[in-house]
Amino acid sequence: MYLDHFGLRESPFNITPNPRFLFMTPTHRRALDHLTYGVTQRRGFILLTGDVGAGKTTLCRELLDHLGDEYRTALILDPRLSETQLLRAILHELGRSNARGDRLSLRQQLNRHLLDETSAGRDVVLIIDEAQHLTLDRLEQIRLLSNLETDHRKLLQIILSGQPELGTKLAHPQLRQLRQRITVRYHLGPIAPEDAEGYIRHRMSVAGSGASAAFERDAVGRIHEHASGIPRLVNAISDMSLLAAYAASDRRVTTGHVRSAVNELQECLT
């Protein structure tokens, strides 16, 4: 509705993860560095945690976009699957869409596929998003997948990405062996106040705005404050603030527009 008014080609504040809109704050850069280090150094298990809307999925997609041809990747977005379904989903993501059979057969197929990739000089990376939804038994199953190896190397690098309760779940005594294997971990915190303006300007610019400074500085501060620095909430408030400015035929987003946006979004901000 407000795109033409602000000279935009597309919405700058969609909540759908899109690496094109990723703004690398220092904390996001450190998180990506941890993921990249863990994968390239074949550290086995990598843990990424962060609050809802912190940008974990976008970071994982950014990692996938930057891994070269020497990597094959599988991204599981919803791990609430049975053991057999999870194995089939992993094989499907790796290009084996015809995978069939019981748990043992699927595990053997995965092992053969990983050996083929290793023989071809490629590493395989498995990313499980929303991993806080995994049951203890399923997490133990994933640990067992890390046992697939040759005499010289692990066949599978595994990234577990999830909300902070994933860390609590991993502290369970039943998962002691898995916990000990996680040698690279990072918690993705909120955007710092000093990075909020750059974040909003960047998204406006990517969306095609010649008026990337459409948000007044005080308005940005209010957006950050109400969003507690969580990118998804920054997006929601910024989007509604642009709508409020459009409705008032204003070219600049002010604290008044932000106030109107926050009132509209009160339920999701509390």
CA distances from 91 to 18, 72, 86, 100, 116 (A): 24, 11, 9, 10, 13
Contact between 44 and 183 under an 8 Å Cβ cutoff? The reply is yes
Q: Do the domain assignments include residue 44?
A: yes
Same structural domain, 48 and 169: yes
- Return the DSSP state at 192: P
Q: What is the distance between the alpha carbons of residues 9 and 255, in angstroms, rounded to a whole number? A: 25
Same structural domain, 102 and 180: yes
Consecutive 10-residue runs of the chain (270 residues): their mean pLDDT?
Answer: 90 88 92 96 94 93 90 94 93 89 92 94 96 95 88 88 96 95 95 95 89 86 96 96 95 96 82
Q: What is the pLDDT of residue 248?
A: 95
Q: What is the pLDDT of residue 68?
A: 86
**Number of domains into which the chain is organized:** 2
Q: What is the pLDDT of residue 211?
A: 63
Contact between 183 and 42 under an 8 Å Cβ cutoff? The reply is no
Q: What is the distance between the alpha carbons of residues 264 and 255, in angstroms, rounded to a whole number? A: 14
Same structural domain, 138 and 56: yes
Q: Do the domain assignments include residue 158?
A: yes
- Please say which residue of 125, 160, 188 terminates a domain: 188
Same structural domain, 140 and 163: yes
- Please say which residue of 188, 210, 244 terminates a domain: 188
Same structural domain, 56 and 125: yes
Q: Do the domain assignments include residue 61?
A: yes
Question: Domain residues for 241?
Answer: 3-16+192-264
End-to-end CA distance of the chain: 27
Q: Do the domain assignments include residue 75?
A: yes
- Please say which residue of 153, 188, 223 terminates a domain: 188
What angle is formed at CA 171 by the lines to CA 170 and CA 175, rounded to 5 degrees? 60
Q: What is the pLDDT of residue 270?
A: 61
Q: CATH number of the domain that 108 lies in?
A: 3.40.50.300
Same structural domain, 159 and 182: yes
Q: What is the pLDDT of residue 31?
A: 96
Joined tokens for residue 251: 């070219």
Q: What is the pLDDT of residue 33?
A: 96
What's the pTM value of the predicted model, to 2 decimals? 0.90
Same structural domain, 47 and 67: yes
Q: Do the domain assignments include residue 269?
A: no
Tell me which residue has tokens 């379904």: 85
Q: What is the distance between the alpha carbons of residues 97 and 89, in angstroms, rounded to a whole number? A: 8
Helix (H, G, I), strand (E, B) or coil at 211: coil
Same structural domain, 183 and 80: yes
Q: What is the pLDDT of residue 154?
A: 84
Q: Do the domain assignments include residue 270?
A: no
